[in-house]
């Protein structure tokens, strides 16, 4: 099976679960995201193990960020994730590891913020009073479409690498294909549904098109530092779960703040 076919197979298996959870929203989506956060944080701790992250503090902060987003919105999300800092400080005080406190605590808080808050914005998107379900669907589908077309376009006509040292497989040609797909899906989903104007839907699509590959490149930098190709082996040849959600960890916040900037709250 080719890499592209394998990617499509994973989407075919995972898409009904993700789309079903988005449709139901509420605690169903929360439960799915808690599971995704737990696995992704575990994979991140393995990537950052040389820094001796304080995993219990990161798990607590990441899950409380999700719980805060579910119960009280963005303010509670921030309050939840900040518990990772205090708890990491306390755990470092009783830890016997010799790693510098700055490195251990910073890695712990970064994991909680990056993964916990990144996924929390999916909940915040879904909770938007006006077309929250549609907005969440649009972001998820736009990311999937952009990732698939970027990969296919890069394989077909890719010649110029975006970040040769960080992610040699990504090309500018693939980025153009992915951007076109992302903007198109966003436009069709949100303008045609009479939620956003033409200009708003195009701006939102462009924001997602930029944020998603940046999220991918960010994780690639971490994997390069750790000297590994994939964050895990949960998905076989596709690596770990973190390799599949890295784009949405940047794209969901970008989409959420764009929609708020347009005046939809």
pLDDT of residue 215: 94
Place of tokens 């764009």: 258
Residues 91/93/95/99 CA torsion (nearest 10 deg): 110
pLDDT of residue 170: 84
Distances (CA, A) of 56 to 38, 86, 104, 147, 208: 11, 12, 12, 32, 32
Mean pLDDT by 10 residues, the chain (265 residues): 64 86 96 97 94 94 97 95 94 82 93 97 93 94 91 82 80 90 93 84 96 93 87 74 93 96 85
Alpha helix positions (H), 48-117: 55-72, 74-94, 101-111
pLDDT of residue 90: 92
Distance between CA 254 and CA 237 in Å, rounded? 29
Distance between CA 244 and CA 219 in Å, rounded? 10
Distance between CA 265 and CA 255 in Å, rounded? 13
pLDDT of residue 40: 96
pLDDT of residue 200: 93
pLDDT of residue 4: 57
* DSSP structure class, residue 204: H
pLDDT of residue 193: 72
Distances (CA, A) of 244 to 44, 80, 143, 187, 213: 13, 25, 11, 24, 12
pLDDT of residue 165: 79
Domain locations in the chain as residue ranges:
26-127, 130-265
Q: Characterise 231 by phi-psi region: left (phi > 0), alpha (psi -120 to 50), beta (else).
A: alpha
* DSSP structure class, residue 265: -
pLDDT of residue 157: 84
Q: Which two tokens stand for residue 68?
A: 């805060």
């Amino acid at each position: 099976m080719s890499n592209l076919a394998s990617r499509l197979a994973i989407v075919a298996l995972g898409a009904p679960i993700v789309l079903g959870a988005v449709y139901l929203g509420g605690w169903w989506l929360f439960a799915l995201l808690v599971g995704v956060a737990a696995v992704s944080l575990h994979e991140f701790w393995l990537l950052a193990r040389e820094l001796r992250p304080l995993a219990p503090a990161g798990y607590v902060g990441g899950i409380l960020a999700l719980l805060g987003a579910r119960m009280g919105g963005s303010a509670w999300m921030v309050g939840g994730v900040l518990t990772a800092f205090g708890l990491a400080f306390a755990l470092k005080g009783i830890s016997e590891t010799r790693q510098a406190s700055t490195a251990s605590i910073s890695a712990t808080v970064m994991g909680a913020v990056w993964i916990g808050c990144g996924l929390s914005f999916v909940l915040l998107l879904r909770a938007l009073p006006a077309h929250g379900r549609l907005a969440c669907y649009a972001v998820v589908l736009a990311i999937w479409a952009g990732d698939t077309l970027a990969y296919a376009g890069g394989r077909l006509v890719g010649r110029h690498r975006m970040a040769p040292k960080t992610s040699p497989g990504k090309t500018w040609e693939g980025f153009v294909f992915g951007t076109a797909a992302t903007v198109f899906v966003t436009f069709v989903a949100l303008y045609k549904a009479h939620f956003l104007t033409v200009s708003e839907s195009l701006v939102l699509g462009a924001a997602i098109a930029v944020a998603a590959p940046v999220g991918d490149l960010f994780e690639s930098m971490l994997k390069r530092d750790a000297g590994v190709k994939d964050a895990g082996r949960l998905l076989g040849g596709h690596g770990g779960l973190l390799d599949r959600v890295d784009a949405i960890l940047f794209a969901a916040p970008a989409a959420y703040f764009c929609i708020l900037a347009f005046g939809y709250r």
